[in-house]
Amino acid sequence: MTESALAMPFQTRAEALDEERALVAAARRDSEAAGRLFDKYYRDVFGYLYRSTLDRQVAEDLTSNVFLSAFRHLSLFRWRRVPFGAWLFRIATNEIRMHYRRQKRIAATSSEAISLALASEVPTAAEMLAATDDYRLLHRALLELDLKYRTVILLRYFESKSITEIASITGKTEGTVKSRLHRGLERLHSALERLGVVPQ
C-alpha cells in the first residue's frame, strides 16, 4: 500500500452522514446540489421500484414521482441522523403502495386482470436478471403477498437494508419488521410451492 493511500482519511459513517447533511441543506437553495442528490440516489430508487413492479416504464414514472415529491417537500425533511436515502425509500414505498391501489381500482372497473408481463426492453444487467423465468415466478409469488410483507422482503433481501433501516423507511418498529419478515417469508414459500418453484 502506498504512503498516499495510507495518508488518505477513512470516512466514517458519521462523517458520511455529515457530508450528506450538508448536501441536503445545499439542495434546498441550490439546483446543482439537488442534481447531485438526484444522481447519488437515482439508481438505488429506480432499482427498488423496478424490482417492485418488473415494469421499466412504471418504475421510471414512479422514480420521477419520488424525486418530484422529495424536492417539492425538501424543506419538510428533518435530519435525525438517518440517511436521506431512507427518506427517499419511504417515499418510494408509498409510491408503490399507491401504484398497486390504482391498479386494483383499474382492475375492478375494467374487470381485466393486471398484466404481469415484463417490459419488452431490458437494458441493464439487473433487468436482464429480472427477465429469467425463475425471477418472473418469484415476482409473481411476491405479488401474491400483502404489500406490508412484500415491502419488507424487497427491502431486506433485494435492497440489502438493515432491520433498523427498514423500520425507518416503513415507520414501523424493528420488532414489527422482524415479525413481517418472518410471516412474509412463510407466505412467500407457500406461494412458491403453489407455483412449483420449490418442492412441496
State pLDDT tens for residues 133-172.
Answer: 666 778 888 888 999 999 999 999 888 899 999 998 998 9
Q: Does residue 7 fall inside a structural domain?
A: no
Domains identified in the chain, total number: 2
Q: Does residue 9 fall inside a structural domain?
A: no
Last residue of a domain, one of 62, 87, 120: 120
Q: Does the reported pTM lie above 0.75?
A: no
Q: Does residue 102 fall inside a structural domain?
A: yes
Q: Are residues 166 and 198 in the same domain?
A: yes
Q: Is 177 helix (H, G, I), strand (E, B) or coil?
A: helix
Q: Are residues 173 and 114 in the same domain?
A: no
Contact 37, 43 (CB under 8 A): no
State pLDDT tens for residues 123-133.
Answer: 455 554 554 56
Report the C-alpha dihedral over residues 156, 147, 130, 66, rounded to 10 degrees.
Answer: -80
